[in-house]
């Protein structure tokens, strides 16, 4: 594997940057070459937040890329913003329980998941982003689940220690996110 180029996009407050930070921490802990470039406006909520991540086994020479291997869009505005990063060999995943429109950019495959709906109905709205992290983990296969769990411990360990039930809730969300892609055959 040379490298996997990932574009994550959603509304401010959906946890896009948190997903990216955990992802690249997991890559770092797994001795992968990693790169993360956040892109968001000055507002924390109400604007489109984009994270560009690269993970691979070989040195990453160019920090920017024009086309992603996998694009994850968590809002209609994110879908529109990500069209420019989509190529014929890209896989686009979007949350159909949040997005009213389906991605239309020419790509290899478009996969709809209902992570937000499932998180709200079965777990908690607060772990929606961790479900998306599970989707991303399954879609890319660049890291192991243990790598992600270790990175979650680094990022969220203090919260987990204060409320141990949060660890199980987040781990369950991660596994349910991975299962969403198994259900659609990815």
Domain residue ranges of the chain, discontinuous segments joined by +: 3-181
Residue 185 has a pLDDT of 44
Distance between first and last Cα of the chain: 19
Residue 186 has a pLDDT of 44
In 3D space, the residue among 150, 136, 144 whose CA is nearest the CA of residue 186 turns out to be 136
Bridge partner list, 37: 52
In 3-state terms the chain splits into helix, strand, coil percentages (rounded to 5) of 45, 20, 30
Residue 63 has a pLDDT of 83
Whole-angstrom distance, CA of residue 66 vs CA of residue 51: 13
Residue 42 has a pLDDT of 58
- Would the pTM of this model clear 0.85, i.e. be above it? yes
- Compute CA 75 distance to the chain's CA centroid, rounded to the nearest angstrom: 13
pLDDT along the chain (186 residues), means of 10: 89 90 95 92 71 93 91 95 95 95 94 95 94 93 94 94 95 96 58
Is the domain covering 3-181 a CATH 3.40.920.10 domain?
yes
Write down the H helix ranges in 95-184. 115-122, 128-140, 145-162, 164-184
Residue 43 has a pLDDT of 53
Q: What single-letter DSSP state applies at residue 65?
A: -
**Number of alpha carbons in the 13 Å side-chain half-sphere of residue 33:** 14
Residue 64 has a pLDDT of 86
Residue 53 has a pLDDT of 96
């Amino acid at each position: 594997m040379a490298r996997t180029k990932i574009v994550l996009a959603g509304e401010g407050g959906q946890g896009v940057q948190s997903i990216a930070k955990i992802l690249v921490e997991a890559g770092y802990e797994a001795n992968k070459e990693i790169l993360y470039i956040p892109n968001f406006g000055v507002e924390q909520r109400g604007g489109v937040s984009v994270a560009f991540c690269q993970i691979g086994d070989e040195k990453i020479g160019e920090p920017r890329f024009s086309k992603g291997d996998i694009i994850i869009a968590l809002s209609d505005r994110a879908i529109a913003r990500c069209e420019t990063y989509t190529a014929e060999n890209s896989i686009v995943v979007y949350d159909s329980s949040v997005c009213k429109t389906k991605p239309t950019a020419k790509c290899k495959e478009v996969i709809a998941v209902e992570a937000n709906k499932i998180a709200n109905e079965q777990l908690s709205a607060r772990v929606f982003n961790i479900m998306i992290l599970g989707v991303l983990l399954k879609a890319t296969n660049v890291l192991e689940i243990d790598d992600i769990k270790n990175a979650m411990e680094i990022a969220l360990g203090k919260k987990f220690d204060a409320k141990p039930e949060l660890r199980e809730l987040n781990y369950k969300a991660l596994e349910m996110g991975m299962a969403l892609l198994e259900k659609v055959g990815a």
